[in-house]
Amino acid sequence: MNIHENISLKKLNTFGIDASARYYAGFSTIDEVCQILSESKFVNSRKLILGGGSNLLFTKDFDGIVLKNNLKGIELVKEDVDHYFVRSAGGEVWHELVMYCIANNYAGLENLSLIPGNVGASPMQNIGAYGAEIKDTFYELEALHIQDKTIHKFNNAECKFGYRESVFKGELKDQFIITSVTFKLYKKPIFNTSYGAIEKELEVMGIKELSIKSISDAVCAIRKSKLPNPAEIGNAGSFFKNPEVIRSKFEALKTEFSMIVGYDLENGNVKLAAGWLIEQCGWKGQRFGDAGVHKLQALVLVNYGNANGSEILELSQKIIASVKEKFDVDLVREVNIV
C-alpha cells in the first residue's frame, strides 16, 4: 500500500483541474482502506473518496487524503423467476458494468450506457439519463463506515433516492465508502424508449427489432453527438440540476417566454430545462480565458485547458445570478464542489 504525498489530481478529474492532494492512496481491498483510515495522521484529517472524478470540481488543493476506490469484481449473486441479481464492486467502471450486463442479457441498465465514472459513485446522485435512473434497478449496496469501519447494507428505500440525490449526498454525507452495489435486473427486458430522442435515433439506425443492445447503441450515439468528451475538453457533464418549479410559476413564465422548456412531474410541478434558461441568458458558447460554457449544451461548463476551479466556480455563480434575474428561478449545482 503506497501513500503518495503532494500529487497532482489533474489526470484524476474529468474537468482537468490541476489541484493537488496532500496525501493520495488507492485501495484494492477493504482491509487496505481500513488500514489507511486507522493511521494516526489520517484519523482526523479530511478524506475524499475518488471514483472516476467525473462529478467533481476542485476549487483548491485538497489538504487531506484522497482515497481512490480500485475495488474490482462483478458477479451474479442470485436469481429468481424474473430477475438476475448482479453485484459489482465500487471500483468497476460504470459503462463496463453496463456492457457486461448487455452481453449476458441482464436487462435494465441499457438506458444508462456511457455515463462516465465508477459503480461506487452511481448511487451518490442516483445517476440518470434517457428515461432511467439507477433507483429503478437498484437492489442494495454495501458501504464501509469511515469512523467505526463496519460494513452497513442499505436497501433502495434507505438510500432515499431522488432526482440527482441520495442519503449519501445529504444526511450521511462523507460518512461512508460505497464498496459494492447490487442491481435487480430483468430476465425479460422491459424496453424503455419513452425518451423521444431514443425513438428517433433507433429510426435513423434502421432498427426494426428492439433489443437492450440496440437501445444502448442508440443512447451511446445520442450522448456522443450531444455531450463533450472529457478526453477532448474538460467537463463534468451537467453543471446544474434542472430546477423544479410549481405549476403556477411555470404558467407565469410561459406567458412571458412562450418557448420555455418544461416537463410535467408526477407531483404536479414542472421541471425546467436549465440548458434553455442558461442559453436564453446569452451564456451558450461564451469563453472567459480557459473557462467556458459549451457551445452545444449550455448546461455543461468546460475547461479549455488551464482554467482553475475558482474560475469555473465564479462563472457558475454569474450564471446562477443571471438566471435568477431573468427568470426568478434558482439554479442548484449538480457537480460536487471540493
Sorted by sequence, the CB contacts under 8 Å of residue 92 that are 6+ apart come out as: 71, 72, 73, 74, 118, 119
Residues in the chain: 338
Contact call for residue 118 and ligand FAD (CB under 6 A): yes
Active site annotation includes 238: yes
Contact call for residue 242 and ligand EPU (CB under 6 A): yes
d(CA 277, CA 320): 10
b/e map 39-51, b = 16+ CB within 10 Å:
eeebeeeebbbbb
List the single partner that 49 binds among ligand EPU, ligand FAD, none, CB under 5 to 8 Å by kind: ligand FAD
Q: List for the chain the helix, strand, coil content (%; round to 5).
A: 30, 30, 40
Q: Which of 238, 244, 311, 316 is catalytic?
A: 238
Contact call for residue 52 and ligand FAD (CB under 6 A): yes
Among 51, 108, 243, 275, binds ligand FAD (CB under 6 A): 51
Contact call for residue 120 and ligand FAD (CB under 6 A): yes
Q: Nearest 5°: phi and psi at 298?
A: -70, -15
d(CA 9, CA 19): 6
Stretch that binds ligand EPU, among 73-81, 101-109, 150-158, 270-278 (CB under 6 A): 270-278
Contact call for residue 128 and ligand FAD (CB under 6 A): yes
Q: How many CB atoms lie within 10 A of CB 296?
A: 12
Stretch that binds ligand FAD, among 153-161, 174-182, 209-217, 261-269 (CB under 6 A): 174-182
Contact call for residue 67 and ligand FAD (CB under 6 A): no
Cβ proximity of 63 and 244 under 8 Å: no
Q: Which of 140, 244, 311, 334 is catalytic?
A: 334
Contact call for residue 273 and ligand EPU (CB under 6 A): yes
Q: Which residues are catalytic?
A: 164, 238, 334
Binding-site ranges for ligand FAD (CB under 6 A): 14, 48-56, 69, 90, 115-118, 120-122, 124-125, 127-129, 176-178, 227, 230, 235-237, 336
